[in-house]
Amino acid sequence: MTDSAKPLAANMAANTHADCIFCRIVRGEIPARKVYEDDELLAFHDISPVAPMHLLVIPKQHLSTLYDASEEHHHALGSMLMLAGRIAREQGAAEGFRSIINTGRVGGQEVYHLHLHLIAGPQHLGPMIVPTQQAPKHNAPHQ
Ligand code: 5GP
Ligand code: ZN
Residue 138 lies in a domain: no
User: Which CATH number is 39's domain given?
Assistant: 3.30.428.10
- 2-13 confidence digits (pLDDT tens): 343 334 444 444
> Per-residue pLDDT averaged across 98-115, rounded?
98
pLDDT higher than 70, residue 142:
no
Residue 112 · residue 65 · CB < 8 Å: yes
- The secondary structure of 41-109, three-state, reads EEEEECCCCCCCEEEEEEECCCCCCHHHCCHHHHHHHHHHHHHHHHHHHHCCCCCCCEEECCCHHHHCC
pTM (2 d.p.): 0.87
Ligand closest in space to the Cα of 26: 2
Mean pLDDT value across the chain: 88
> Per-residue pLDDT averaged across 102-129, rounded?
96
User: In angstroms, what CA-CA distances link 9 with 4, 32, 34, 38, 72?
Assistant: 12, 19, 18, 9, 14
Residue 130 lies in a domain: no
pLDDT higher than 70, residue 31:
yes
Q: Is the dihedral of CA 43, 44, 49, 52 positive or negative?
A: positive
Ligand 1 within 6 A of CB of 110: yes
Residue 129 lies in a domain: no
> How many domains, in total, are found in the chain?
1
Residue 116: its pLDDT value, please? 99
Ligand 1 within 6 A of CB of 47: yes
Residue 47 lies in a domain: yes
Residue 2: its pLDDT value, please? 37
Residue 15: its pLDDT value, please? 77
pLDDT band at 135 (very low <50, low <70, confident <90, very high): low
Range(s) of the domain holding residue 50: 3-74+94-120
Does the active-site annotation cover 115?
Answer: yes
> Per-residue pLDDT averaged across 53-68, rounded?
98
Ligand 1 atom closest to Cα of 48? 12
